[in-house]
Every structure is written in structure tokens, then in C-alpha cells.
């Protein structure tokens, strides 16, 4: 009986440690991922009306290089496409494509001011909002999987050790 109680205590302790470790990993690495899945907005580049076949420009200041930057382009009208051009501080075009509502990602190679030009390619006037930020990476997703597995595994150990102890005590023989 003493050995069974000792195994019970170790299983319970292991379950509590696993749940605690999973919760700590959740708080440290996945809290933002949990609150804002997919995109972390850092700021707004422009929110302005664009007449048909006209363009508007905005400046994005980049301090961190080699970290993927995400632009989120949204507009009020449907079926509107834009030509988006991004120039680095040296004036070299690093991105040039036609897009409709969406997300585009580029990797800055130099720090400084990037000029973002957006041209309305449709025949309708529209209001465009361009915000910038960072998309979550696979590392954050892997940490999310890790903390979920630790918490579920810890709960399994706690419940399993508790019920395996009560299974030996029969409620029918009382």
C-alpha cells in the first residue's frame, strides 16, 4: 500500500509539473498568438480615398532587417485591384505586383524608409487601408502545439493517477 501511494504521488507530481510547464510556455511565447492569431499589427501606413486610376504613396520605416514584414491591404469596395510597388531606401523596387484585397509579405534587406505606392487599377473610386506588421511564424505555432500537449498530458496524468487509485477501492463492498 505504501508503494502504491508513492507511485500515486509521483504521477500526480509529474502531471502538475507538466501542466505548469505548459502554462508557463503559453504565457511566455503564445499569449500574443492566442489573442491575435495570424497578424500582429504595428501601425497604419495610409487610410485614404483613391480615385480611379490614381495612386497614393506612404512611407514605412524599417529598423529590423531580414524579418518578414506583412502589409494588409483592405478596401471598402469589392472587386477592386491595386498595383502595389515597394521601393527600398536606395530606390530599388523590391516588390511590384497587382493585388486585390489581401496580404503581401516582403523581407526588408536594408533598414530605413521604404516607399509604398498603391495605384487603383479599377474604374471605381475606393478607400484603401494599408496597415503593416508581422505574421506569426512556425515557431510560435510549434510552441502552441507544445503547450497544448503538455497541458493535456499533464491533465491525463493527474486524472489517470487519481482514478487508478480509486479503482482499487470498490464502492460496492461498503
CATH class of 39-135: mainly beta
CA 113, CA 124: separation in Å to the nearest integer? 30
Q: Which residues on adjacent β-strands are paired with residue 69?
A: 106
CA 168, CA 103: separation in Å to the nearest integer? 58
CA 138, CA 157: separation in Å to the nearest integer? 28
Sheet with 93-100: strands ordered across: 55-62, 112-120, 81-87, 93-100
* Best CA proximity match to 41, nearest among 132, 128, 129: 132
pTM: 0.58
Q: What is the full per-residue pLDDT of the chain (174 aa) written as tens digits? A: 555 555 567 778 888 899 889 888 888 776 666 665 567 778 888 888 888 889 999 898 888 888 888 888 877 766 788 899 999 999 898 989 888 767 888 888 888 999 999 998 888 888 888 888 877 665 566 777 888 899 898 888 888 777 766 555 544 444
* Nine cell digits for residue 3: 508503494
Burial (Cβ within 10 Å: 0-12, 13-18, ≥19) of residue 112: middle
Which sequence spans correspond to the domains of the chain? 39-135
Q: CA Rg, the chain, in Å?
A: 27
Q: Residue with C-alpha cell 524608409?
A: 113
- pLDDT score of 52: 87
* Nine cell digits for residue 35: 489573442
User: Three-class SS of residue 78?
Assistant: coil
* Sign, CA torsion 98/44/133/34: negative
Amino acid at each position: 500500500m505504501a508503494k502504491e501511494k508513492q507511485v500515486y504521488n509521483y504521477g500526480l507530481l509529474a502531471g502538475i509539473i507538466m501542466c505548469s510547464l505548459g502554462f508557463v510556455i503559453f504565457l511566455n511565447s503564445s499569449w500574443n498568438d492566442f489573442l491575435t492569431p495570424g497578424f500582429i499589427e504595428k501601425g497604419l501606413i495610409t487610410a485614404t480615398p483613391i480615385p480611379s486610376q490614381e495612386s497614393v504613396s506612404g512611407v514605412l520605416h524599417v529598423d529590423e532587417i531580414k524579418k518578414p514584414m506583412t502589409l494588409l491591404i483592405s478596401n471598402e469596395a469589392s472587386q477592386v485591384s491595386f498595383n502595389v510597388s515597394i521601393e527600398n531606401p536606395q530606390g530599388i523596387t523590391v516588390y511590384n505586383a497587382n493585388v486585390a484585397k489581401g496580404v503581401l509579405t516582403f523581407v526588408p534587406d536594408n533598414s530605413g524608409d521604404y516607399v509604398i505606392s498603391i495605384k487603383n487599377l479599377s474604374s471605381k473610386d475606393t478607400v484603401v487601408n494599408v496597415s503593416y506588421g508581422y505574421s506569426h511564424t512556425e515557431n510560435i505555432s510549434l510552441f502552441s502545439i507544445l503547450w497544448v500537449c503538455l497541458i493535456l498530458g499533464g491533465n491525463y496524468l493527474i486524472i489517470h493517477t487519481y482514478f487508478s487509485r480509486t479503482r482499487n477501492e470498490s464502492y460496492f463492498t461498503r
